[in-house]
Each structure stands twice: as C-alpha cells, then as structure tokens.
Amino acid sequence: MPESSVETLSLNAAVSHFGARLRAAREARGLDLNHCAHNLRLPLRVLRQLESEEYSGIDYQVYLTGYINKYARFLGVDEAAIQAELARLRPDQPQPALVATGGISHSRYLLEHYARAATYVVLTAAIVVPTIWLGVRGTLDRDVSHLAPLDAAPVAQQEQMLPASSSSSAATVASASSAQAPAAATPSHADEQPLLASMTPFLGGDSTQPAKSAPATAIADAASSGTGAHSLTLNLPNASWVEVTAAGGSRLEYGLLPAGSVKTYRSDQPLEVRLGNAGGAEITLDGQPMALDAYRRANVAHFRVELRDGKATPASF
C-alpha cells in the first residue's frame, strides 16, 4: 500500500476518535478533568462532552470550534488532527448569526445617566445645605447680644442707690408707709425686663456729653467691692454697662451703672473688665490713671488687669 494511503487512513482514524485522542493526551500528561477545567476556565461538563464527542448540547458552531481549539492545544494535540476534526464538524447549512441582547436605546441611556447625576446632586444638597445653615445659625445665635435700654437700672443697683442716711424725717417714713399699699398692688415691670447685654448706649439724648451734676446717691456708690491689695476704680460720667470678672469666674460687677457712678474693685487676682459706653469714662489702677484708647472698639472697652512682679498692669485680649 502506498505511503500516502497509510497516512490518510491514520488521519481518518485519529479524526474518527478525536475525543479518545484528547483523553489519551490528557492522561499521558497526568492531568485530570478538574485541573484542565480550572486552567482553561471552561465548565467541566464541556470537557467531558469533548472527550466523549457528544456535541449536541453546544448550540453554535463557533462555540464548539473555540472549545476544541482551546482544549486540544492545551493538551498538545497535533494541529492537523485539530483542523481535520473541525472540518468534519463544519455544518452543511449556515447557522443563524449571533445577536447581542441586553442593549438599551440611546435615549434611555441618557435618561438614566442624567437621572443618576441629578440624584447625586440632590443628596449632596440635602447633606451640605443643612450643615451650612446650622453652622451659620449657631454663629449668629452666639454673637447676637440681648438688648435692653440703658436707662433701666437693675434692681440691685436701684437698692444701692437708695440713700443710707439715718436722719430721714418721720414724715418721709410715714408717707412711704402710706404709699406702700398701692405700690404693692401695682405689678413690677422691672423684673420683666430682659437681662441687659447691650454694649452701646440707647439713651434718648446725647450720651457722649458728661453729666452736668452727678446725683448725691450715685456719688455715694463709691463703696469698694472685693478684697485685695490692688484696686481698680471706675468713674463713669455716663450710664454704662459694666462687667468685672475675677480669675476664678466670680463676678464683682454685672449690670448697668447709672451716670456719675464711682466704683472701686479690690482683688489680688487678675480681673477681666468689659465697659460699655466707655466715652468719657475715667479708669484708675492702683491710684494711677489708665487710658482706654488702646482697649476700645467703637464705644466698648475690653481689657484685663494682670499682676506682674507684684504690680497691676492693663493688657488687651
């Protein structure tokens, strides 16, 4: 028999038993189906179908061709045998073309894209806008001062302004006693007024002009507050809101002082002083005059009294 006829017969035999050849090549390499499926990233079911030549479960020729090429070349099968098997399996009639599924129209894609972007914008606004609003509102609530007219002195200051003279006439005492009943029947509006926090004057007239004559009751308000070797004296020609705080947080003064008040505060610790309507005010620190120009902003003075080497000295914040 000619040599070409022998080669043709061997090729036909190889083709007719291509699945057996795949199995023999795998076993010769000492591989199992699980190992081959893992390395080729193919289902184990597909490799079993190729070795048993049961191709009925693979619908399209293009899939079957790819499986055979991939598996046979992985096992080192001869290329001529692979092509012969593929030629044998080539269908006589054309198969239907593959159609991509799962696509969407361009208009729907644009709608989903912009809807997603709008969702991000709405969520961002829902988080950022309340945060900014709360921050701004908290700042305003912290900075806004409570307002009250300067001509309404606190009750404590009204009690200090009462004359302490023991030479009052009996007629005055009697008239005060007779007026006590209607006064008790009249509701007190002083307690209903809000706590003074105004740092600027609200006087009806010109508050920058010093009082022409200080009342005797105001001048009598020169009593000292606190104890200590160092003294701070305020001489106020105009009604002024005053806050004097010691180092421990205790307040030596907090409220409105009427025009003509002279107050002295003694302490051995640093003091913090806030003085509203500071125009014309005279400050004395341990008997030495102190200028307020360096500590004023508008018509409000704010400074500290610090102790350095046993000496009281003013300092700004």
pTM tops 0.75: no
pLDDT (tens digit per residue) in 107-161: 888 999 999 999 999 999 999 999 998 888 876 655 554 545 545 555 445 455 5
* Mean pLDDT within 219-243: 78
Say which residue the tokens 């409105």 belong to. 256
> Cα(46)–Cα(52) distance, rounded to whole angstroms?
10
Q: What pLDDT band is residue 206 in, cutting at 50, 70 and 90?
A: very low
51 touches 1 (CB < 8 A) = no
Whether residue 227 contacts residue 233, with contact meaning beta carbons closer than 8 Å, is answered with no
Percent of the chain topping pLDDT 70: 64
Top-confidence residue, 223 or 277: 277
| pLDDT value at 226 more than 50 | yes
**DSSP H helices in the chain:** 3-16, 18-28, 33-40, 44-52, 61-75, 79-89, 106-143, 155-161, 170-178, 180-185, 216-219
Residue with tokens 């028999």: 1
Is residue 216 scored above 80 in pLDDT?
no
Show the tokens assigned to 184.
């008790």
